[in-house]
Amino acid sequence: MKRAPFFLILLLFATSIPVAHAKESYRREMFVSVIEEPQVLSNREEINKLILFAKQARIKVLYIQIYRANMCWFASNVGDSSPYQNALKSVGEDPLSLLIKQAHANDIEVHAWLNLLSLAKNANAPLLKKYGYEILTRSLAPKKTLDDYKIDEQYFLEPGDLRVHKELTDLVKEVVTAYPKLDGIQFDYIRYPDIHPIYGYTKSNIERFKRSTGIATISDTDPVWKTWKRDQVSLLLTILTRKAHSIKPDIHVSTTGCMSYTRAYEEAFQDWPSWINSGLVDYVTIMSYPDTTPEFIKSISDAQKRVTDFSKVHVGIGVYKLLKDPESFVQQLSLCQDSKGGACVFFYYSNLSQTPALKDIITASP
């Protein structure tokens, strides 16, 4: 099928609703990462720029990354707080508190975005220094050095390790206690690594599995072992959600979810539809980041089959893959809007704000 020229699609998109009577029929949300340059939390001017852009683009929720690779952009005893201390000196006050205040003044929600089980490439992570390599999930391949634990160029914490449960629960307590005006918290990387799903073979995890099931020999193909790993991820999420609600009962709790569902369930051991259907979380942001429109349609269709209420699914749009393809961005945005999901979520801020064609679309479209 021959596609219409981009300028025509944009024109139709921008004029489909009369501007004077435009009514927002879907919710827009956006990730703001600490790896962006310049870092938003690094100075007051960048915070002001973010709020202005969010207002222009009619973004209603900002997911502000404040925990990544066991580094913290808030005061913490669990992770390395040096990024927070540097930002505090630069801004002159707690940068997240300032951002929340300015966002609320413009009717924008702020949710803390936490990368939980990935340490990225941080070999100096405080959790590694405190507990050693044993808290990292692993395959049965021999391990001689820390590099041998890398999976997809990252170190992953073991979801079934009770020490990991405690540390991440303490982390959530720190965040929700320190920022009582925070609207929500989104748990990212709450899963096993999905590159060759043969992990979970830490000493503590194996011991707990054998005690719980009575099974002495573990096989990667054993459905009981697979269910155990899936249950560990869900258990961790349950503990973290309860801790957040115990401190602030009305805080919104959400997670990210892998796509496709088969990848999530069979490889990342992440049963995110059950989290929605059981009411464990308020919603899940699905990481549907294909760079082609047909694959985006397929991803949404896959997710729609998995839940009873699709409004509890927020659809991610991988803007970083569409920087040179504004036409596909328009198409995915329109499809997301029509899907009746809870929101369209842009990944991430600088991709939109620093790419003129995409910025024009998102600030002009209804």
**pLDDT for res 158:** 98
- pLDDT of 2 reads 40
By CB atoms closer than 10 A (0-12, 13-18, 19+), residue 196 is: exposed
> Can you name the residues that pair with 112 across neighbouring β-strands?
64, 185
The predicted model scores a pTM of 0.92
Average pLDDT over residues 166-183: 98
Could you tell me which residue, 364 or 91, shows the higher pLDDT?
91
Q: What percent of the chain has pLDDT over 90?
A: 90
Read off the pLDDT of each residue in 248-253 and give the average, rounded to a whole number.
98
- Write the pLDDT tens digit of every residue in 35-45: 998 899 999 99
The DSSP element (H or E) to which 113 belongs, if any, is strand 109-115
pLDDT(273) > 90: yes
- Count Cβ atoms below 10 Å from residue 47 Cβ, excluding itself: 21
pLDDT at 182 exceeding the cut of 60: yes
* Upper half-sphere CA count for residue 233 (Cβ side, 13 Å): 32
Task: Look at the block and give the residue holding tokens 């998102």.
Answer: 362
Average model confidence (pLDDT) across the chain: 92
Task: Report the percentage of the chain scoring pLDDT > 70.
Answer: 93
CATH number of 25-364: 3.20.20.80
Domain residue extents for the chain: 25-364
* Structure-model confidence comparison of residues 15 and 207, the more confident one: 207
Rounded mean pLDDT, 319-330: 96
* Whether the predicted pLDDT of 177 surpasses 70: yes
Nearest C-alpha neighbor of 254 from the set 233, 236, 232, 276: 276
| pLDDT digit string, tens, across residues 291-306 | 999 999 999 999 999 9
Where does the pLDDT of residue 194 fall: very low under 50, low under 70, confident under 90, or very high at 90 and above? Answer: confident
pLDDT of 38: 87
pLDDT above 90: residue 365: no
12-26, 137-151, 185-199: lowest mean pLDDT where? 12-26
Give mean pLDDT, residues 240-259.
Answer: 98
Contact 77, 166 (CB under 8 A): no
Q: Residue 66, SS3?
A: strand
User: Which tokens go with 90?
Assistant: 């630069």
Rounded to the nearest 10°, the torsion over CA 318, 319, 320, 321 is 70
Query: Tell me, what's the pLDDT at 29?
Result: 98
pLDDT tens, 77-90? 999 999 999 999 99
pLDDT given for residue 288 in this prediction: 82
Contact by Cβ (8 Å): 205, 273: no
Asked whether the beta carbons of 276 and 314 are under 8 A apart, the reply is no
Omega before 246 cis (within 30°)? no
What is the structure's pLDDT at 99? 98
Query: Which of these ranges, 97-106, 192-201, 270-279, has the smallest mean pLDDT?
Result: 192-201
- Angstrom distance (rounded) from CA 242 to CA 248: 10
